Chains A and B, each alone.
Chain A
Amino acid sequence: MGMLRADVIVIGGGHAGVEAAWAAASAMGEGGRVVLVTMDPAKVGAMSCNPAIGGLAKGQMVREIDALGGIMGRATDHAGILFKVLNTSKGAAVRGPRAQCDKYHYAAEVQRLLATQPRITVIAGTVDDLLVEQGACVGVRLPAGWRRVHASADAVASNLRADAMARAVLVPEGEPQEACGLRAGAVVLTTGTFMRALMHTGEERTPGGRVGEGSAVGISGMLRGLGFELGRLKTGTPPRLRRQTIDWDALAPQVGDDPPQPFSDLPAASLARGAFPGLPQVDCRLTETTGAIHELIRANLHRAPMYSGQIEASSGPRYCPSLEDKVVRFADRDSHHVFLEPESLFSDEVYCNGISTSLPAEVQAGIVRGMRGCERAEVLRWGYAVEYDMVWPHQIDATGETKAVAGLYLAGQINGTSGYEEAAAQGLVAGLNAARRVRGQQPVRIGREQAYIGVMMDDLVTRTPREPYRMFTSRAEHRLLLRSDNADERLTPVARELGLACEVRLRAFSERMQALDSIRAALLAVRPDPRAAERLHDRARRPDVPVAEIAAALRAAGAHAPDALVDRVVTDLRYEGYVARQRAEVRRHAEGERSPIPAALDPDAIVGLRAEARETLRKFRPATLGQAGRLAGISPADVSLIAIAAKRARAAEPRG
């Protein structure tokens, strides 16, 4: 059997996989080789559920991914067809940008970006074994039939048009190849919903992670064989309708922001079409369920796989309940909103946001036809539930690396999360750390006070999720620090240090920081009323003074003061006291976050530790004292004991 070589292998081409490959390629630097293995290259970057990116907390995460040099924000700016910042009536810290996208243009742009990175090679195929030597993952085995992939220059060129359907960029080429080994210094596994995947529509069951695609059966067994503890989760998707059969004009439009705000910090000129937004903007429509629909669901509840016991997974997501869940749990409501969102400007598929369901097709038909404006709607694809295997995330570190097998990283739904943004963020962290491992560099953990990405990684490794994990702003105790608009300030300097940011980004960043500084200076210098002592700075601090007024006064005084940047400076001023308090809190715990617990530390060797604390340590194996302190079952006194034991263990480690 032949043997190929790479530095980092990424398995899976979903949102986690592509960010992992991208971050690994950047962090590897000149000469690095990253191989991305995917079952179907045309599906790389696919939006398999809601054709939207961002939202509350998720939007902040996309901004963070962008500030760290990732691709999700760029692809969204390229393919977005309805941009809207949510929560604009509330403070800046809890506003979240969201964009509905043309899902074909989105995936095509992700594929094009991967193809622009010469350090990334895409392979069409599956993986049937992980190569593990002396406790470390050193590669994978590709069974016969895998093919090389090239980027179609034709597709890239035609996808630049904003008035036509996008085509897949990544295309398999050449003959199917013989089975072979592929060796690497690190492997990132992103299986999505494909591990032992089973789709349910009513009583009908189909193996597979997405309609028309297969299931990855072997990987579960491989992971079990390596000693991993697997779980099973469930998620679902709603039916898709044909646009022309909906009475579109009878329904209330939901419009986007004008002007729309981009996700990426890269200048619009450096986007694929050289402009933002990259596509014409549209609206979506609002309809609702009715009492009669709820009646129909109640009468057919015994045929819903979640209720009939047909699904093994014990619980679905509480925050994204299926329509049958909503009807059961909120029996007093006789109507729920349903947003009809176009999946593309150039296809007739419409996503029904709000009625995720796995009821039998004929019941779904009844539900759809019961909704206003959808009386004659044709269903293009039935909704379904999918259950899949995942790895309980206490088995990874906040770097994505598994504790049991060095060099093996997990990212995305395999860790029990839900959502494109959550997956992408984990991919970035895992890809970055995989490259750092190959290069012999220290692992990087992003702090809870630095980014939502840090909150998520820490939550995953310190608590066991009961359902697919989704980000909320309320998960972040330092929420006021983690604004969408200051993601660059928080993370782009980090990206620069880690080699994740390109020149264009860094130049734009430093220009933006200078502009902010000059606005701050102008606020202190300008007096709105020359006879009064009050400076613009003092007015800006008052919550009742509109930001537009401040911006206008700055511009009147001759300052370069774009609204978005003035808003940012004013927000800084208005949050000042709270931010100072949260920063003080962060500083207090900084030492614990920086203090590593040696992986070899034996809980039984820690003098005086209670049995419960010992059990918890054994299960979670926290990497730092900070992580240990957040585990349920570990008291502050236990942390002292662990600190001392860690100090002793470090002292005993051989030097050099």
Chain B
Amino acid sequence: MDTARTIVAVASPPGHAARGIVRMSGRDACAHAASALEAGSPGREDVALRRRGVHAVRLADPPIPSLALVMPGPASATGEDCVELHAVGNPMVLERIVAAVIARSADGARRAQPGEFSARAVLHGRMPVADAERVAASIAAETDAELAAARSLRGARHERSIAAAADEVAAVLALVEAGIDFTDEEDVVAITRTDLELRIRAVAASLKALAGSAGGAECARRAPRAVLVGGPNAGKSSLLNALAGTERTVASPERGTTRDAIEVAVALPGGIEAVIVDAPGLDEAAEGIDLAMQRRAADAIARADAIIAAVASDAAPRPDDHGRAGTPTGAAHAIDATGLAHATVLRVRTKCDLAPESRNARSDPAIRTSALTGEGIDRLRTELARVLASTAPRAGHEASLGTARAALVEEAVTALDDALAVDQAELVAASLRTALDRLGEVSGAIPPDEVLGRLFAGFCIGK
């Protein structure tokens, strides 16, 4: 884990909003933040001098007013210097701020990986281990979800092009390495300079074209999402674990164990990769639960392609249940509030091992499930696959992944240009390796071992 550099990322939820946040954390976070502000802008010095508080500032690019929230370490959320820039909640603007901070800080700042702010908080002892475990589980699930999203993109043209480019760079690198490591062998000329240049130029050109169009709609495709809603102790976490076949979330009989939205990637029948979101807080308004949590839940529902409404089989019937056939009260309100006609609602009676099937079961459209015995889980998976298969790709949510990917592709192109600028084989190889690492971050790593493997396959080497 790289903890030396300042990390920066858009910290507000994706999509347009009244206000958006770019957050950074690290030893030099204040200097990096200041570098992205307009010279002479009033609060710039306060930021540069690490003055705790909220300062009115102007961004350098685009030149718009913004608020800078400075929290010097170690008494900050991450234990390091933290700065938040609050600006208009336009994804393009926020992305430009992130890019500007990285560009202006030379080697000093980089994009944060999923959950890295929390990881730093843990490492600096700013977050109790128990909390951290829960957050980290959610982070890991989020990463899985992104991987699933990337996998679901595999058929897409961009994904294929990046994988093909990585393959070609690996092939060229293998030849360069052959020229370095196996020169004692016979008359092998692994690759001529002319071939090397031709092949690198061709890859670089294809990647440049790709980076130019990376903001396009195709990159914005994403895995379909289903949100789990249900009252406290409706058995959502257990149901999620049963659906996913893993134990990412912390299922506990204690009410309200799940405090943050948790996303888990699941493979459904028919080859459908979906993300299931477990969002807490919908039914807890009356008990004074944090407003922000409710907002997050509502947001999760707004982004959903399907809703799984869970009610425990042993739960006391509520007056509302009769009228609304098992939709939990809060969820129903939330759904009403966001007015989501597009999301199909699947009703589920959980913990059916606790209650015998009732006589009017046939009239109840809910799927009966038990995470304990596994009953009904397959049926729910099939139903979910059917519902999500018809879901058209929804644009917009993948913007941040798209830009991050484009940035990696651009870094790869720069490294390929570096490779063309030098003669010595070991320096060419160093730059090709960098390019391959960056492409690997997009489409899966190619370790040195595999490069060697390609080499062995093609050459008679060794005496």
Contacts and interface: CB of A to CB of B under 8 A. Distances in A.
Interface of A: 55-57, 86-87, 90-91, 93-94, 317-321, 326, 329-330, 333, 336-337, 339, 353-354, 463, 472-475, 477, 479-480, 543, 578, 582, 584, 587-592, 607-611, 625, 629, 632, 635-641, 643-645, 647-648, 651
B430 A56 contact: no
Interface string B376-413: 00000000000000000000000000000000000000
Interface residues of B, number: 57
A588 B4 contact: yes
Interface in B118-144: 119, 122-123, 129, 132-134, 136-144
Contacts of A607: 133-134, 136-137, 250
A478 to B, nearest CB: 10
B246 interface: yes
Given A91-B425, A91-B427, A94-B425, A474 B448 contact: yes
A9 to B, nearest CB: 34
Q: Which of B5, B137, B185 has the most CB of A within 10 A?
A: B137
Contacts of A317: 462
Chain B contact residues: helix, strand, loop or mixed:
helix
B133 A647 contact: no
A608 B249 contact: yes
B114 A319 contact: no
B181 A56 contact: yes
27 contacts: A55-B184, A56-B180, A87-B183, A90-B183, A91-B427, A319-B456, A319-B461, A320-B463, A353-B463, A474-B180, A480-B430, A588-B2, A588-B4, A591-B4, A607-B137, A608-B136, A608-B138, A608-B247, A608-B250, A610-B248, A635-B143, A637-B114, A637-B136, A637-B139, A637-B144, A643-B1, A643-B122
Nearest to B461: A319
Given A339-B463, A477-B448, A637-B143, A587 B137 contact: no
Contacts of B140: 608-610, 635, 637-638, 640-641
Given A610-B248, A637-B114, A480 B4 contact: no
Contacts of A329: 460
Nearest to B132: A644
B452 interface: yes
B460 A636 contact: no
Interface string B1-43: 1111100000000000000000000000000000000000000
A94 B177 CA distance: 10
Contacts of B246: 610-611
Nearest to A544: B423
Contacts of A587: 4
Given A584-B107, A644-B136, A578 B430 contact: yes
B2 A651 contact: no
A320 B462 contact: yes
Q: Which of B129, B183, B424, B463 has the most CB of A within 10 A?
A: B463
Given A94-B425, A330-B460, A588-B5, A644 B181 contact: no
B345 interface: no
A482 to B, nearest CB: 11
Given A636-B113, A643-B122, A644-B132, 10 more contacts: A472-B177, A474-B429, A591-B4, A607-B250, A608-B136, A608-B137, A610-B246, A639-B1, A641-B133, A644-B133
Contacts of B423: 543
- 5 closest A-B pairs by CB: A608-B137, A588-B2, A637-B143, A637-B140, A330-B460
Given A588-B4, A641-B140, A648 B129 contact: yes
Interface of B: 1-5, 107, 113-116, 119, 122-123, 129, 132-134, 136-144, 147, 177, 180-181, 183-186, 246-250, 423-427, 429-430, 433, 447-449, 451-452, 456, 460-463
Contact of B177 (A474, A543, A647): A474
A637 B140 CA distance: 5
Given A330-B460, A578-B427, A590 B122 contact: no
Contact of A643 (B2, B119, B433): B119
B440 to A, nearest CB: 12
Q: Which of A472, A477, A640 has the most CB of B within 10 A?
A: A640
B4 A590 contact: yes
Contact of A589 (B2, B184, B427, B456): B2
A480 B426 CA distance: 8
Given A317-B462, A608-B137, A648-B129, A463 B248 contact: no
Contacts of B107: 584
Nearest to A632: B447
Given A55-B184, A91-B426, A639-B1, A647 B122 contact: yes
A353 B463 CA distance: 6
Q: Which of A329, A609, A636 has the most CB of B within 10 A?
A: A636
Given A477-B448, A625-B1, A640 B462 contact: no
A463 B181 contact: no
A234 to B, nearest CB: 15
A552 B462 CA distance: 39
B463 A474 contact: no
Contacts of A637: 114-115, 136, 139-140, 142-144
B248 A608 contact: yes
A588 to B, nearest CB: 4
Contacts of A87: 180, 183
Given A87-B180, A640-B136, A589 B1 contact: yes
Nearest to A630: B447
Nearest to B248: A608
A349 B2 CA distance: 55
B205 to A, nearest CB: 25
Contacts of B147: 635
A226 to B, nearest CB: 29
Contacts of A57: 181
A339 B5 CA distance: 52
A622 to B, nearest CB: 14
Contacts of A354: 463
A632 B450 CA distance: 12
Nearest to A354: B463
A570 to B, nearest CB: 13
Contacts of A643: 1, 119, 122-123
Contacts of A93: 426
A55 B2 CA distance: 34
Contacts of B181: 56-57, 94, 472-474
A318 B136 contact: no
Nearest to B143: A637
Nearest to A339: B463
Nearest to B430: A578
A319 B143 contact: no
A57 B181 CA distance: 8
Contacts of B248: 608, 610
B460 A336 contact: yes
B184 A56 contact: yes
A101 B452 CA distance: 29
Contacts of A321: 460, 462
Given A56-B184, A336-B186, A474-B452, A636 B143 contact: yes
B424 A543 contact: yes
B109 to A, nearest CB: 12
B138 to A, nearest CB: 8
A267 B451 CA distance: 40
A589 B147 CA distance: 23
Q: Which of A339, A591, A625 has the most CB of B within 10 A?
A: A591
A644 B135 CA distance: 11
Q: Which of B114, B123, B181 has the most CB of A within 10 A?
A: B181
B129 A647 contact: yes
Contact of A94 (B1, B122, B129, B180): B180
A608 B133 contact: yes
Contacts of B129: 644, 647-648, 651
Contacts of A56: 180-181, 183-184
Q: Which of B4, B180, B425 has the most CB of A within 10 A?
A: B180
Contacts of A333: 460
